[in-house]
Amino acid sequence: FELIIDTADLDGIKECDDILNVQGVTTNPTILTKTGKPAEQAIQDIIDYLRPDQKLFVQVVATDYESIMDEARYIAQLRPENIYTKIPVTHPGLKAIKQCAREGIPTLATAIYSSDAAFMAAHNGANYLAPYVNRMCNYGNGVQDVIDLIDMLAIQDSDTKVLAASFKNVDQAHQLIAAGAQALTLPPDVALNLVAHLGTQFAVDEFSANWERAYGRTTLRA
Ligand code: E4P
């Protein structure tokens, strides 16, 4: 399982990376604009922060095939390894995903709203698929559609991994982890809410109070 953080905000990345076992960061054009920095700077700051073994996913902005390929080749050389080009599954995007596979450029097929488009992107050679779970919920049962996708890939023995994206709450994340999604990209608030049960703090407060009352200190050893 891979936990990816869906933000370009360094504080958010650091907060999650400090507490959780984070395997990488996803960005998209909107996410990069939110930093208020020039895009190249925002990307470089994330690269400077990440360990070499943590993955970075950067999306193309161009929409025609030749320009997508230019941007994919540019993105691929931003780091020596663990750099993935995100390409939306438009028709030019699907063509580019196929070409990237030929050139050895690792890809994440993104802006996915259907299990069928996702499956075809996998068949074109995408390394990861990013179905937009919460946005898919606007059109039906997004969680179930992604569970179908996981089954479709498994039954066809595909090597392509599902990196489920666009989460708005912990329940969506829970259901897809339970269904076997190989990776999730979560905004920092959703990632941190997975490990933020008030009962845990209540239990710890109770342990501390009982200990201090009995032994007059707050640590195991005097
Ligand atoms: C990640 O790869 C996607 O770009 C992202 O999860 C989209 O999420 P949104 O629906 O919150 O924009």
Do strands 55-59 and 128-131 pair parallel, antiparallel, or not at all (unpaired)?
A: unpaired
Host domain of residue 71 = 2-193
Residue 213 lies in a domain: no
Place of tokens 């488009």: 117
Helices (H), the chain: 10-19, 29-33, 39-49, 65-76, 91-103, 115-123, 133-136, 142-155, 170-178, 188-193, 198-215
Dist. CA 198 → ligand 1 center (Å): 28
Q: What per-residue confidence (pLDDT) applies to 51?
A: 98
Residue 201 lies in a domain: no
Dist. CA 211 → ligand 1 center (Å): 45
Of residues 85, 99, 70, 77, the one with CA closest to residue 27: 85
With 0.90 as the threshold, say if the pTM is over it. yes
How far is residue 129's CA from residue 107's CA, in Å, rounded to a whole number? 9
pLDDT tens, residue by residue, 74-94: 999 999 999 999 999 999 999
Residue 198 lies in a domain: no
According to DSSP, residue 59 is labeled E
Residue 212 lies in a domain: no
Residue 158 lies in a domain: yes
Residue 218 lies in a domain: no
Q: Domains in the chain: how many in total?
A: 1
Taking CA atoms only, the protein residue closest to ligand 1 atom 8 is 166
Residue 222 lies in a domain: no
| Ligand 1 close to Cβ of residue 145 (< 6 A) | no
Dist. CA 210 → ligand 1 center (Å): 45
Residue 200 lies in a domain: no
Residue length of the chain: 222
Task: Look up the ipTM and state it.
Answer: 0.96
Q: What per-residue confidence (pLDDT) applies to 129?
A: 98
pLDDT tens, residue by residue, 140-188: 999 999 999 999 999 999 999 999 999 999 999 999 999 999 999 999 9
What's the mean pLDDT in 194-199? 96
Instruction: Residue 28: give its domain's CATH number.
Output: 3.20.20.70
